[in-house]
Structure 1
Amino acid sequence: MTSDPALSLRIMLLGAGRVASQLAPALRHAGHQLAGIWSRTPATAAALAATVPGTPALLTPDFTALPPADLYLLAVPDAAIPAVLAQARFPAGALVAHTSGTVPLSVFEALPHVVGGVFYPLQTFSAGRILDWRAVPLCIEGATPAAQDLLLALGHTLSGSVQVVGTPQRQAIHIAAVFACNFTNHLLGISHALLAEQQLPLALLAPLLHETVEKALANPPFTVQTGPAARHDAPTLARHQAALTDYPAWLAVYNALTSSIQKQLEAPAANNQGGIEL
C-alpha cells in the first residue's frame, strides 16, 4: 500500500456486501479507523464488523442517526443508493461518497446539507478472493475541491492508481468494464460447460486466454481479431451452429457475436491485422 502515515480517517461504512467486505479490511490495513458498519441486514453488518477488530456494527436496519466520521462511504447496490441517502441522517456538512460506477455525482443534489463524492474501485469483487489493492484503479470525483482532495488522498493510501474521473467518463468506464469482465466471464461459463460435456477442463484454454488478453492489451483489440467469423469461414461457422442447436440461448450469443465481428471488420476504420488465425 502507498499509505500516508499522516492521513488517518474515521470512516463509516454503509453496506456489508462484496465491495464493503473487501474495503473494510483494506481501509483498516491502510491506517484508517472504521467508525462503524451498517447494513440492511444486521447480521451481515455484525459478521463483517467481526472481521475488523474494534469495529462496531449498527444493528438496526432502519437508522436515524450515525456516529461522527470524516467520511460516510456507501458500498451498497446502485439501486439502493437513493433510498439509503433518503433514509440516513448525515450530520450537516458531512462528506458522503458512493462506490458506484454508474450513479452520477448529482445523486447528492437531493441532500444539500452534505458534500457528495465518488470513490469507485474499478475491479470485480467476489467472496473468498484476496485483492491487491495497490493495483486497483480508483476513480475519484468530488462536489467540492476539498472533498475531491480528501478522496484522492484516501485513494492513495490504498492504491497506486488513483485519478479524478468525471461522471460521464466513469459511466463509460463501467460499460466497458461490463463487456471486459461480466460478459467475458459469461462466455467463459459457456466454454466451461461445453468442455465439461466432453470431460475436459477449462484450464485447457488457459494459454489461449493469456495470449488473447496480452495481445488485446498490446494492440487495439479490433485490429488483432481472429477466428472463423473474422475470416468468413462459412463451413466452420455452420458446424459450430449445428453443434449448438441444443443450446438456443448460446447459439443466439454465437450468432450475435459472429455478426458483430463481421460488421466491425467491414467498417471503414477497421484494420484487421490478425496474423495466424485460430
Structure 2
Amino acid sequence: MQKVWICGANGRVGRKMTELLENTPVELLLTDIDAVDITDSKAVRDYAGMNRPHFIVNCAGLTDVAACEENKEEAFKVNALGARNLSVAARMGKARMIQLSTDDVFDGSGQTPYTEFDTPNPQTIYGKSKLAGENFVKEFCNRHIIVRSSWIFGEGSSYFSKIMKLAGEGKTIYAAADQTAVPTGASELAEKIIELMESAPDGLYHVTGQGSCSRYEFAQEIVRLSGSQTEVVPVAAVDDRLTAMRPSYSVLDNMMLRMSGISLLPEWKIMLERFIADRKDYTSI
C-alpha cells in the first residue's frame, strides 16, 4: 500500500486532499506543525525515515503576506527551508515531492496571463520565500510536481470568511478593483493535485479556475451567491486592508496542463457557486 504524507494537513487544501484520499487504498500520514515542524530538518528526516512515504505533499506554509513582511526570517524558514527539508527527505526515501506554490511569485506588472515559462519576479517576502521553496524542490528532489495556484477559497479561507462575516453583519465591503487573478476552489484544486501526483510527468504546473476577475468582482459574486444585500464598493488596492500587498495582475495560464492533455478546472464562478451551495452557515467557514 502506498503512503502519502500530507504536511499542513489542517489547511484548506490539505483537508480536502485528506477527504478525497481517506477512502482510497493508500495509507495517509497527516501532520501539521504540532506533529512535525517542517523547519526542523532532523524531525522531518526522522519522520520520513520511520514512515517511508511514497509521496510527500507540502501544503504547509506561512501565507499571511503582512506577517511575512514583518518577520522575513520566519517566512523564509517556513516557506523555503521547510520545502528544502521535505525535498531532501523525499530524495533520500525515493519519494515524489509535491509542492504547493503561489501566483505571488510574479510581480503583477504583466497584462497577459503568466505561463509556467515566464520568469518570476516576486515583490513581497511571501512571494520571494515561496519562489525560494520552489527552487529548493527543483534542486534537491528530482521527482517532483510544483503546483502554483491563486486566490484559493474553501474551509479556512481568511479572505472568504472575512467577506462573509462583513456581509452577515450588513457592513459595507471595500474590495480592490485593481487586483486581478483567478479564484480557485480548494476542493477542485485538491482533486487536480492528486491526479498530477499519481499520473502526471514531473514539472511545474499552473492550476487555477478558468476566467479571471478583480477582487471587487470576486467579493460581489460571494455576496450575491450568499443572498446578502450588502454593498460592495470598489477601491484601490492600497485601500483594501485584506489584500493590499498582493500583485495587481497575477492571472495564471494553465499552459502545461493543456499541453500535457490534462483537463482544466471549471470556471471560478462555477466552483464558487458549488462551494457556497454546500454551506449552511457561511459566517462559520
Q: Using structure 2 for the length normalisation, give the TM-score.
A: 0.40
Query: Scaled by the length of structure 1, what TM-score is found?
Result: 0.41
Which has the larger Rg?
A: 1
- Higher share in helix: 1
Structure 1 or 2: larger strand share?
Answer: 2
